[in-house]
Structure 1
């Protein structure tokens, strides 16, 4: 079984290209994901995971997902093997995404967008009992 679910923030806007011949859209980007522990000095380590998504989800990424957005990806781990011009064999590991979900609303740059809030919160912090 090869299944992965990751959540992180985009390091830069997705790059969209089309496969020659079939015209299938392919979006590539990198997610920044903090590890769930802190180092001795109190800092956290961040992993940068390359992601590739094909088809309609790729077009969604190109149109609606931008740098800094928090997203969830479901897919599988892929290992590409290639050889450099010098003859060295290399491996490149990435996530081949099937499903992408935006996990937060796009932040508004100004409050003039029909009075819509710049952030969405399902729960008011003052109402939380702990």
Structure 2
């Protein structure tokens, strides 16, 4: 399929794609730390739910291993859930009507004509003529 998106629209689409990538990176990496009211448990979690760091003050080795195993299992389950969503999104993207809609938008963008600067008003407007209820276009 040929690329029907004009350069002026492509730059806008590229900017949106870059913003989307930055946002996705922030969701994965920007962490916030929360601490229990007694101050014994602290976790640092990103917006995608990944636990980046955790601490339990005074925890023995067994508790530390148990929490580490639990977080590893949560990560595995989260990865599997995200993969299943990606598979569903890919199936939607592969549907003929979605491709048709995408192509229609590209075609519409290709047909869009930017406003010309020659039609803009200049500083020589005859305001006196306009105030008498007549159009400058009609006067020319």
Q: Which has the larger radius of gyration?
A: 2
With the length of structure 2 as denominator, give the TM-score of the two structures. 0.18
User: Which of 1 and 2 has higher RCO (CA within 8 Å, sep 6+)?
Assistant: 1
With the length of structure 1 as denominator, give the TM-score of the two structures. 0.19
Select the structure that is richer in helix: 2
